[in-house]
Amino acid sequence: MNYFENYFTQMSKCISEVDVSKLKDVSALVQSAKKNNGKVIIAGNGGSAAMASHVAVDFTKAAGIRAINFNEADLITCFANDYGYENWVTEAIKAYADANDLIILISSSGQSENITNAAKTAKQMDLKVVTLSGFLKNNPLRELGDVNLWIDSTAYNFVEMTHHVWLLAIVDYLIEVDEKK
């Protein structure tokens, strides 16, 4: 098998290993946030931050569900400077989250301290939390959400692209459900 055939076989395996009942659980949490006048807040680092931007726009424009992310350079650098990098997402959640919001936190390794701290804070604020991670099965983020999506891979691109596909599948599912009403 050549490189690309092997690559796409592995990618397909990663994407299809999801427990679809968990995707439905996440969808229900998104619907609940919308029904209760909440919004979806999505955050991550690096490629996961880029994914958060894409998915937030799709939730808002395509699915009609208010969603935001924290990818403004001034917000990140201000909060990281004042509170420390490990706390900037926590402080952004404190500043922007309202009752009935849903927090979606993405970390490929599940060990990003700013993301795990944010999950703990969101739970203390009585917000629903969804986590997406990969790498180690027992990573810290995987224990912190109401729904935890995990991919069994240590390859960053496989983990990030799998998370992206799963989140966009949720967007498309919610659009489909809404159209059938």
Distance CA(65)–CA(69), nearest Å, equals 13
- In the chain, the number of structural domains is 1
CA-atom Rg of the chain in angstroms = 16
Per-residue pLDDT of the chain (181 residues; tens, 9 = 90+): 699 999 999 999 999 999 999 999 999 999 999 999 999 999 999 999 999 999 999 999 999 999 999 999 999 999 999 999 999 999 999 999 999 999 999 999 999 999 999 999 999 999 999 999 999 999 999 999 999 999 999 999 999 999 999 999 999 999 998 888 7
pTM (2 decimals)?
Answer: 0.97
**CATH, residue 134:** 3.40.50.10490
Kindly report, residue by residue over 124-150, the tens digit of the pLDDT.
Answer: 999 999 999 999 999 999 999 999 999
Write out the residue range of the structural domain in which residue 75 sits.
3-179
